[in-house]
Chains A and B, each alone.
Chain A
């Protein structure tokens, strides 16, 4: 049985979290993500989970790292400035390979910026915000139902690959209310499981991985007594100063994700089958793009939309294929131009790549995007 509801994107993330089996949230209030914290403060105790409002964004990250070590599924939610504060421990979570999910409902920045206006200005922060070489996953919903689905997917990916997953939202999607059909009962939703060691505690090496390159991760308190550190460590989990250890750790953390791009990277193709010209857009900006494509088609223009659902790792193969298929690509994003450089790099000069950057507090209207599209493609 299911129920039909009108829900905000942020509320759909909360439903997704409960459905995914999240039992711990550590957060700090920040617009436009606060509804997630408020709602989980009410919901988590009802399922025996814990919500804690920490003293700052850094502490929120620390708390969810700690809770994840006990085997719980954990979440925090924030927006740009808070995301910056979390970056220190996002680096830690990458190094120590701690599964967790960070929701970033983007707003106009830098700094306090326009706290209530939509933006997609944290695309690069999501990838490169923390220090050092690191690899993680960022996914972006473009509808309220997808907020629910991608929250579930965030846990599936995070637990499978032992990696922080960023649910990279924007204010358009976070705050709009839309129809969603939810199961009455979440008991039948498959729960992501963390790989457990199959050896005895005495033989356990905390960061020794099989061919999946993802080490098993037992919860604290069940006999394995392992060590977690942000120092470069070898397969024992203990610090190792050798250059070979640094390289081995980086290579394994890279390959555990980038050898599985088929599993991780998702895009949606809309009207792409016979498309001659393409728009690339994601999240709230994609909502404009669907309608602009429909309008273009009515004018007889063979337009299509490629919507990256996975933002990081970058949809390298999909963009390369697109560049081999269409005559031009317009990247539409709610910032001064970030993702477009990645598309340009992948297209490698095969087709022209244009940018329609919108960064004036409002999403582009479909008519505005269509006009820019026609201008760019000289149609």
Chain B
């Protein structure tokens, strides 16, 4: 088993942290994982990405070459990082930001990620955790128990309940 994910959006949306949490959840599941990211001027705004590869066997090449899943949380990211999707890939977009969904032949989930974070948690800040809830519910790539544990290991003290709720909000976006 090898599963490649690319979490993309705008610098400041917390996607690097989301990638780290996902990779840590995979380790908790006793799988292997590598997380990497594009740094650079673009990480201060503009399109940015965080990539995660989860596998049962050793992962040599650390970058995503054939994404099983792309999360796009900005229009620019949807355009820039969808070039290597194919009909087996999944695209999740944040419907608040991505109006023009790239056509690639695979499945698309247009989800109100940031909208739900604002509506149900009062802050768009939780969008990355909402997105994690949705994509894990959709793919089952890590167990929900490990995801919760990984989130709680990384978030600031005092925000645990809000983050758990954010995961639930995200999971509920997948019917």
Q: Which A residues have a C-beta under 8 Å from some C-beta of B?
A: 4, 6, 31-32, 114-117, 171-172, 175-179, 287-288, 290-291, 294, 362-363, 365-367
Contact = CB atoms under 8 A, between A and B. Distances in A.
A61 B27 CA distance: 38
A4 B32 CA distance: 11
A123 to B, nearest CB: 21
A179 B24 CA distance: 9
Contacts of A178: 33-35, 62
B34 A176 contact: yes
8 contacts: A6-B23, A31-B39, A116-B39, A176-B35, A177-B23, A177-B34, A177-B35, A288-B60
Given A31-B39, A116-B41, A117-B40, 6 more contacts: A6-B24, A32-B39, A116-B40, A176-B35, A179-B33, A287-B62
Nearest to A5: B27
B63 A363 contact: yes
Contact of A365 (B34, B35, B37, B63): B63
B143 interface: no
Contacts of B39: 31-32, 116, 171, 175
Nearest to B52: A177
A290 B60 contact: yes
A175 B24 CA distance: 16
B36 interface: yes
A172 B62 contact: yes
B61 A288 contact: yes
B173 interface: no
A264 to B, nearest CB: 26
Contacts, number: 59
B20 interface: yes
Contacts of A363: 61, 63
Contacts of B139: none
Contacts of A177: 20, 23, 34-36
Nearest to B31: A179
B65 interface: yes
Interface string B120-137: 000000000000000000
A6 B35 contact: yes
Nearest to B16: A177
A178 B63 CA distance: 12
A20 to B, nearest CB: 25
A105 B36 CA distance: 16
Given A117-B40, A175-B39, A179-B32, A6 B27 contact: yes
Contacts of B63: 362-363, 365
Contacts of A288: 60-61
Contacts of B65: 365-367
Interface string B43-64: 1000000000000000011110
Contacts of B27: 4, 6, 179
Contact of A175 (B23, B37, B60, B61): B37
B28 to A, nearest CB: 9
B40 A287 contact: no
A295 to B, nearest CB: 10
A4 B150 CA distance: 13
Contacts of B41: 116
Nearest to B63: A363
A319 B111 CA distance: 55
A365 B61 contact: yes
Contacts of A116: 38-41, 43
Contacts of B40: 114-117
Contacts of A291: 60-61
A171 B40 CA distance: 12
B118 to A, nearest CB: 30
A178, A365, A366, A367: which has the most chain B beta carbons within 10 Å? A178
A294 B34 CA distance: 19
Contacts of A290: 60-61
B23 A294 contact: no
A117 B43 CA distance: 12
B33 A287 contact: no
B32, B39, B60, B65: which has the most chain A beta carbons within 10 Å? B60
B61 A287 contact: yes
Interface string B16-28: 0000100110010
A316 B99 CA distance: 58
